[in-house]
Amino acid sequence: MKSRVLFLLGISAVLLAGCGSSGGDDEPDAVEAPLVILDNYNFFLGNLTNGELLTANVGGEFTVTIDMDDGLIAGNLDLDVGANNTVTFLSYLLRAGNSFTLTIMSPEGSELDGTFRVSVMTDIEGAFGEPPTSGLLMLSPPDVLEFSVAVLADGVELRSIAGVEQYTWEEFAALLDDEQAAGFRRQAALSVGVIEFLVEQFFNVAGILDDLELVTLNNPYIETCDMFTGSPPQGVLPEGELTITWLGSGELSDGDDFTWAFNNCWSQDDEELLHGTVTLEDYTESVDFNTGVLFNIGFGGLGAGAPGGVIFDLTFSETVEDQGVWTIPADGVITVGGGFVLNIQQP
């Protein structure tokens, strides 16, 4: 997968403190320390404080709602900091002790339906852009015995009263769409899929941080997306675009909002079409003036009643090509609403 590069230097606020004159003698202005980006940061995903939970409708077949228990999921992020503070994401870790509750509802009812907790028993670790390689999840549905999913180097191991079953990643993911599979197996596949989705969206939003200063100078900021290699799906533009709009003025500052709009934006690598809007509310950033270390950055606050966050009104559509004609299968559309707070902090 392609590596995203985050340029945090461009989004750091300028912190200059002027000293007044005393006794008629001029004193030099204080000079800010050069920005220092560490190679390791904590990150946090939290429920929106307005109570609107992250929700996804999957192909019209079921809806899943994600409630981060205690309102927060914590992790760790490793970076490679190069020349000019160019930063490349390397790996991530979701900490043991995290948990979230999933509620699944189907229009006509299915064995997948229900509400259950997913607990991270040992740290989940993975390289950027790749499936996790270690970790243990415990699932606690109310109507069956607890069962667990162990992440292996090249797949997963499902441990339940039915025994121990090993799957490749492709086999495990396929369980979700297999209506003949037992409900707990489909719930296990969905739980891991939710973790992968959360990690992916965290990196997607973190990856846009490099554009924010550019947006303030070129507002709105517009990029074209990939052009379809053949005939696009019916009603879809051959080449779409994404637009980032800054809703502030003056200089980039705490509390600013952005909209990140996708208009028929196709990714050739992922064979996926995005359409809709992600609203980025209440930008926050702080730098230690004495050391120049980037202390925290993100959208929304972690405290009770704090405003803002990352709010989705976005559709992800799978695209399939046949003899030069692209289509969107009905069950390949995921519509995401609600959102989360995102904050990256110095350890």
pLDDT tens digits, 71-84: 789 999 999 988 87
User: pTM, whole model, 2 decimals?
Assistant: 0.83
Structure tokens of 187? 């719930």
DSSP line for 36-102: B--SEEEEEEEE-TTS--EEEEETTTEEEEEEEGGGEEEEEEEEEE-GGGEEEEEEEEEPTT-EEEE
| Least confidently predicted of 23-32, 38-47, 97-106, 166-175 | 23-32
Whole-number Å distance between alpha carbons of 300 and 310? 8
In terms of average pLDDT, the best of 70-79, 136-145, 314-323 is 314-323
Average pLDDT over residues 34-49: 90
Residue 206: the pLDDT is 87
pLDDT per residue as tens digits for the range 261-279: 999 999 999 999 999 999 9
- Which amino acid is it at 132? P
Q: What is the mean pLDDT of the chain?
A: 85
Higher pLDDT, residue 108 or 32? 108
Whole-number Å distance between alpha carbons of 69 and 281? 22
Name the DSSP letter for residue 293: B
Position 32 pLDDT exceeds 60: no
Residue 13: the pLDDT is 29
Three-state secondary-structure class, residue 330: helix
Residue 165: the pLDDT is 94
DSSP line for 180-220: TS-HHHHHHHHHHHHHHHHHHHHHHHHHHGGGHHHHHHSSS
Model confidence at 320, in pLDDT bands (50, 70, 90)?
Answer: very high
SS (H, E, C) 159-189: EECCEEEEEEHHHHHHHHHCCCCCHHHHHHH
- Asked whether the beta carbons of 309 and 71 are under 8 A apart, the reply is no
- Half-sphere exposure (CA, 13 Å, Cβ side) for 329? 11
Token pair 């699932």 in the structure block, residue:
139
- Asked whether the beta carbons of 89 and 79 are under 8 A apart, the reply is yes
Residue 7: the pLDDT is 29
Average pLDDT over residues 178-183: 89
Position 226 pLDDT exceeds 90: yes
pLDDT per residue as tens digits for the range 199-211: 999 998 988 876 7
Position 321 pLDDT exceeds 50: yes
Position 216 pLDDT exceeds 60: yes
Average pLDDT over residues 225-250: 94
Residue 305: the pLDDT is 61
